[in-house]
Structure 1
């Protein structure tokens, strides 16, 4: 592997030669979840996607016997397993407990007020918060203001508690909130007809559209039963309130850990979607993992039960995929919902650069690893960001899409590799004949993206309209991937230019992370209010360090540096015909706001061991080349191949 004199390195160690990814076993990637745990660890689960485990039928029946709630179907939602300490976090949960304790001892309504539980942009998470809070505190009302959830006293709770008991009122509101089909709630026996009438009137006035009440006598004791109305008995137009109620409904989601080998993440998803008979867009994930590796990552699939997923294990294994930690959850995964990735790597065939002796290798390796451990590396996007293809890469497709050259983007998308497998034969056939139907017959079933495109083109033609329909047939995350790939290419070039022209210290006009804490930050956290432009005085006083410098990913909301790098961005985009680009592709419903990415990244928890001798790999091996085993953690969206490039002082792309 040759040294790349054009790459920008920030350390002054010499590095060494070596080879990576000799086999998938030499490159193992394990996702680190938002709690800082490896996703393949026993009993690990996502903090906010945890769903109460379903109890056995016997347990459910026992709970039904112990409460006033009766059901024609024992498959009741066991909401009492909602753990607010997990869902809200310890700090917010403690605030909520303090708020409820204070509220219960105050008689003055004006003093009770409201409490904010925070902002929850994801509607599925909002639904979990609403239901969990109301189950644990039935006397509270939860309301949503845009993405903020606030709690206050439920105005009707006190009235019902005065008619029945506080315990009954709590159980009744839990029953109402659960909306379990076929279920019923029975108040304790009541001999006073006048009192029963008051209860009937309260329930009918407050929940009449949802339930119906009826008195019945058993062993000379009269009670009131409240039963949910059948849906067919309430045919009415959907209102805003109905839509808000639907937010509380829990969709079927199944989470699992995917172990894949020598497969792209999107290719693995396409194959699983084909096997399960769902769309690729029904799968959600936190990040895309390397192809030439063994990787472990969290995934969630919609509309598939754990049992059905487990039934397909053998088919997945034939494609180099294994699944584990299968469980029901209440929401999909969000892209970027991870802390980072853990890497266990082996670099083989080590030898020094230049005229160094092999005996000096141990010191060279130590210097290299320690330098990068302490100083970090330039946070370039790795080669997998641009696709594994050797002919046309994803950033070229993204550029065509940004220029709204739909037919050109389609041809780039179907440009084949040099391989002679079925998928590349199908691509060649399409480009040669334009016959989408015949190409579809050749395309393997697991190539879901290509098949979706070909179906749309067969139906709508290969002109402008057909190309747009083809792109729209892909999930949004797949469409926008190509645009992000182009923007990543520009970012890489900007980083190299910045270091070559402006050096290794923050200068006037640079953008820096201006948060309370110094150092690297996840890209998701770098929003405009925290971005600061370095002044002449700040440069002179060395107020900032290089690890605080951030560069923008092109988009329609970002600020560009106010120095020659800012002009470089303008010239670079103009060179690609994007001088007036709005970074929106309206026909494809795509928008690229842009973001900020730290110029430097730094590995954590670094360990290594050098082997100067190995077991022979074959009978013809006369000598055994040394190797290094290296383990470290990287923040989300940082690339191990780039880190290794800094360690070895080689271009590994």
Structure 2
């Protein structure tokens, strides 16, 4: 009878009607003296799914006051036939070692007073107890959206607990320093407004947004018409306006071809909405003028005296280059590939760079860009040639390092060391991205090994850097494998393109699915792997030979040629002492580069062999995946290094004026902004404003790493 009561109580708790079960059906006969009295209070039943495995015979009695009421959501249903009654005297006491504490999820409130007491009475876990992997919480990439629902978190609980761990520098080969200065602690990128980048063009000038005016056309008007012809032309805009809407106007022009040509030009210049053609009526040459229709008007002749490419400065706040170009192109109904630029800039920054586009009016670009958040354009001009990747000299950086904890002497000596010695020219962490359980270099390695399915798995693996939509449908694809449905639910993005490729090509085990991705994206994965190898080579080189040139090193001569120290080619330096470390280069691994004549060449072959590759494999049968290679300086010495000490109280207030700030408030000065950030009462904190110029492909975060000897934390601000 007590058991039957308990079963009815279970049914009431779970909110479900259970069939009538007799005592005999429910469990074996137990002597009355061994059967504990079951009160109306419901006992917590712990199953293997809820609590780490504890044998039944070793399961202790839980005090009544610590037994919370269990709802249907908290306890999986267990068949009655499989739930034998355990005598109370067989339940030993559980210690902290036997049941590790699993912290409650943030934001989850106890449903009853009993549950609150139970949660608060859990024993502490001893240091030698390791909780189950499913309970391990790992810090995710700081760029990730932290608002992940519990359902997603549960679905990922069976994955590698380190799946979303942010990269450590050592993971991508970043290990050594050049200087012996003390360094200092601080924080970079607390706000993205603390990181400003201005592109330096081939002439050494900074890309700055200083005006948003549309260039005025210089017109050399020719007086090619007689007074009578002018009167006839005037009818186009007065008497015949109504007629032009549905018909055409005829102008008699005679047999003089040169005059007809000038008249056509005049009509196009004075009446852009009209088009003119020469025809013959009753044996007489005439010009037919009518209104342009739709796209015909868009294709009007580009002025011959104007450059074919519109160049402009694109100023971005918290938006990456590729994303901004994509938004502008979509607004203009063009392909992003029509726009050209010298290099891409980080989205977690305030950046200014030059962009060019073929035969598009400045006014049209400005009109579209003004509607895009975080994008400003200006400094328009027309030139004959487009921009190309790598056309710039480099970038000027203005950085705010906050919460500085160092003496002025330590700061000065650290800056002096950065100026004189420079820093190791490592590829920064942002080069390696986040793709599934690892970096983009893991996708690149799989592509080079022709492991198409593995590469797709890596790209579509959910990761902490995903936005909520991408994360949701990545999880759905992982569960159901329905690429077409998942792609239809995603508006844009790399994942959508790949899912469409999988759906169209019958699965992910073939190359065609991957070739649905943009060509530059496929190449990016290979370049990421190439960069990983270079970082590891740089560390090996400095550990083996130190910060000085060595026999067999490759150096770049002033004419751009690559020679080996001690080599037998003409022009090769004979002695390492005759070279500077700044001239030493390391190969970016590829099938068309020369390797150093020392142990570094063997180190590269060994690294490739560990990944199941050889140098010959870098000449891939898929052209877009081939890596010819190039050369990269081992160290960089920044130019124009300067710094100033600042004080502030509110970490949220910006300490740098952007181009847009100066354009909107030209009278505001930098010192006024700094002063306003310190007006509030409170503890003053120290900051450093650091300025420097770096060559293209050099990473400011690696310069800051050398400056601080790794003590400055680079935060991934939002």
Same fold flag (TM > 0.5): yes
- How many residues are paired up? 458
1:151-166 to 2 correspondences below 5 Å: none
The CA RMSD over aligned residues, in Å, is 3.9
Q: Which residue pairs with 1:62 in the alignment?
A: 222
1:467-616 to 2 correspondences below 5 Å: 468-515=511-558, 526=560, 529-534=561-566, 542-587=577-622, 589-611=624-646, 613-616=647-650
Q: Which residue pairs with 2:496 in the alignment?
A: 451
| Cα offset, 1:261, TM superposition | 2.7
Q: Distance in 2 between matches of 1:407 and 1:624?
A: 55
User: Quick one: structure 1 residues 587 and 461, their matched pair in 2 at CA, closer, same or farther if it must change by over 3 Å?
Assistant: farther
Q: Distance in 1 between matches of 2:306 and 2:513?
A: 32
SS of the equivalent of 2:193 reads helix
Q: Which residue pairs with 2:415 in the alignment?
A: 369
Q: Distance in 2 between matches of 1:64 and 1:426?
A: 66
SS of the equivalent of 1:432 reads helix
Q: Which residue pairs with 1:197 in the alignment?
A: none
Q: Which residue pairs with 2:377 in the alignment?
A: 323
Q: Which residue pairs with 1:428 in the alignment?
A: 475
Are 2:469 and 1:409 equivalent residues in the alignment?
A: no
SS of the equivalent of 1:258 reads strand
Q: Distance in 1 between matches of 2:451 and 2:459?
A: 12
Are 2:292 and 1:292 equivalent residues in the alignment?
A: no
| Cα offset, 1:41, TM superposition | 5.2
Q: Which residue pairs with 1:345 in the alignment?
A: 399
1:141-180 to 2 correspondences below 5 Å: none
Q: Which residue pairs with 1:172 in the alignment?
A: none
User: Quick one: structure 1 residues 22 and 590, their matched pair in 2 at CA, closer, same or farther if it must change by over 3 Å?
Assistant: same
- Which range is displaced more, 542-551 or 529-538? 529-538
Q: TM-score, normalised by structure 2?
A: 0.57
Q: Distance in 2 between matches of 1:341 and 1:605?
A: 11
Q: TM-score, normalised by structure 1?
A: 0.62
Are 2:20 and 1:20 equivalent residues in the alignment?
A: no
Q: Which residue pairs with 1:236 in the alignment?
A: none
Q: Which residue pairs with 2:432 in the alignment?
A: 386
**Residues 553 and 595 in structure 1, CA contact (< 8 A), matched pair in contact too:** yes
**Residues 506 and 539 in structure 1, CA contact (< 8 A), matched pair in contact too:** no
Q: Distance in 1 between matches of 2:621 and 2:595?
A: 24
Q: Which residue pairs with 1:10 in the alignment?
A: 178
| Cα offset, 1:379, TM superposition | 0.8
Give the number of the structure whose residues are more often strand, by fraction. Answer: 1
Are 2:382 and 1:335 equivalent residues in the alignment?
A: no
Q: Distance in 1 between matches of 2:512 and 2:566?
A: 46
Computing the radius of gyration over CA atoms, which structure comes out larger, 1 or 2? 2
**Residues 3 and 649 in structure 1, CA contact (< 8 A), matched pair in contact too:** no
| Cα offset, 1:508, TM superposition | 1.1
Q: Which residue pairs with 2:685 in the alignment?
A: 625
User: Quick one: structure 1 residues 308 and 55, their matched pair in 2 at CA, closer, same or farther if it must change by over 3 Å?
Assistant: closer
SS of the equivalent of 1:630 reads strand
Q: Distance in 1 between matches of 2:277 and 2:547?
A: 68
Q: Which residue pairs with 2:710 in the alignment?
A: 650
In structure 2, list runs of 5 or more residues that go unmatched: 1-165, 227-257, 270-274, 286-303, 653-678
**Residues 423 and 444 in structure 1, CA contact (< 8 A), matched pair in contact too:** no
Q: Distance in 2 between matches of 1:346 and 1:560?
A: 39
User: Quick one: structure 1 residues 403 and 272, their matched pair in 2 at CA, closer, same or farther if it must change by over 3 Å?
Assistant: farther
1:19-38 to 2 correspondences below 5 Å: 19-38=187-206
Q: Distance in 2 between matches of 1:631 and 1:39?
A: 16
In structure 1, list runs of 5 or more residues that go unmatched: 46-51, 78-180, 185-215, 219-247, 353-360, 517-525
